[in-house]
Chain A
């Protein structure tokens, strides 16, 4: 279904997906705060868990900042794409006029409008391509960052197993939350990168 999106719809969908990713990252940040509190209460039994919470918090922070940036980029791309669509639409209609009124003595009076709109279309195309490259780079960087989430979840489980019985379950929940949140964000990024394909087709 998403393969059928028009390019400016695809950009808006990416913005929406990254907005969802930001929400998940905010929950991840809450998870890190809870984990810190549990680790403090667990004392020596969860001494190794405390530094992990800082990593979880950092991952959440990076994800929130990066998602917001990507969200803004995608929203700009959507706006540029809509403007480009309007310029494309004008150009295709001008071409119809050139055919329909080919014999008109005034037909070349359209040349200036055509050239101006072509220039505008070309500026939008260039701006669009630059923004698109930036978007791809941000998406891939964030995806790389999320690789650490798997390690964090594994380490969290190891540390949880060493905590006392009364804290083990809570710390395992933290590990579970990190894994699930990272998985969800990764899903949003993967489907966004798939949609980028539609945007790339438009920039060529």
Chain B
């Protein structure tokens, strides 16, 4: 798997892991993000069972295994957290932060050693050594219990499925032509996002954040002005399309 450092200061760094050349063809490509601080590491949306060994092999090149003390699952989907049963064997002192709503479901992946911290609907904060991260509510985008991770210092919003695009596994890591990129996002957002109301509420709240980089779990990272372009595009987009068609 490839790693790209997207932020670094004296307290922490953000790394994106993805574009796995050995990924089986029929599974969707995913981006995994990690925040490394002095003594801890937060692994965000660590991925499915199929990715586990590639992910662990990549992370262990960066930090020792015992430094992985926190996991975050934005929601309950298999591409997000079905590897949990294996991380549970690998980690002896870790906490999984995930929407409270999904605890009983996520535990089906197998969790005996890892502790569960249910994030309340309104979100909360996680302090990792010198870094402070916010679990930012993104309910119904697309899952009914769903969070993003915002880092005010790095000005990074890990946006989960918001901003996701379906494209080739060897695609560049950053959006380079926003207009062209919307074609790869449109179907995904129209079909997977069920609620215009939830979407517009999220857009209004996201506009209040200072964001340099918006990092989705599939596709490419938005930088600089492309973040605002995305928020404008998303606000205009009608989602939940199949439902609307059936109502006609």
Contacts and interface: CB of A to CB of B under 8 A. Distances in A.
Interface of A: 86-87, 89-90, 93-94, 96-97, 100-101, 104, 106-107, 109-110, 112-113, 116-117, 120
Given A93-B52, A93-B53, A113-B65, A101 B89 contact: no
Nearest to A108: B64
Q: Majority SS of interface residues in chain B?
A: helix
A113 B113 CA distance: 12
Q: Majority SS of interface residues in chain A?
A: helix
12 contacts: A87-B89, A89-B86, A90-B89, A94-B53, A97-B60, A100-B53, A101-B56, A107-B60, A109-B60, A109-B65, A113-B65, A113-B90
B85 A86 contact: yes
B69 interface: no
A121 to B, nearest CB: 9
A107 B52 CA distance: 16
A85 B81 CA distance: 19
Contacts of A96: 53, 57
A93 B60 contact: no
Most chain B CB atoms below 10 A, which of A87, A96, A101, A112:
A101
Interface string B59-74: 0111111110000000
Contact of A86 (B53, B61, B92, B110): B110
Interface of B: 52-54, 56-58, 60-67, 85-86, 89-92, 110
A116 B91 CA distance: 10
Contact of B89 (A100, A104, A109, A113): A113
A112 B92 contact: yes
Given A100-B57, A101-B58, 7 more contacts: A87-B89, A90-B86, A104-B61, A109-B64, A110-B65, A112-B92, A117-B89
A106 B64 CA distance: 5
B53 A97 contact: yes
Contacts of B92: 112-113, 116
Contacts of A104: 57, 60-61
B89 A97 contact: no
B91 A113 contact: yes
B86 A97 contact: no
Nearest to A93: B53
Nearest to A106: B64
Contacts of B64: 106, 109
Contacts of B57: 96-97, 100-101, 104
A12 to B, nearest CB: 17
A94 B59 CA distance: 13
Contacts of A101: 56-58, 60-61
In the A-B complex, the 7 residue pairs with the smallest Cβ-Cβ separation, listed nearest first, are A109-B64, A100-B57, A90-B89, A96-B53, A93-B53, A106-B64, A101-B57
B82 to A, nearest CB: 12
Contacts of B90: 90, 94, 110, 113, 117
Contacts of A94: 53, 56, 90
Nearest to B58: A101
Contacts of A87: 89
Contact of A109 (B54, B66, B85): B66
Nearest to A114: B90
Contacts of B56: 93-94, 97, 101, 110
Contacts of A93: 52-53, 56, 86
Contacts of A110: 56, 60, 65, 90
Most chain A CB atoms below 10 A, which of B64, B67, B85, B92:
B64
Contacts of B67: 109
A87 B53 CA distance: 14
A107 B66 CA distance: 11
A107 B59 CA distance: 10
Contacts of B65: 106, 109-110, 112-113
A116 B57 CA distance: 18
B191 to A, nearest CB: 33
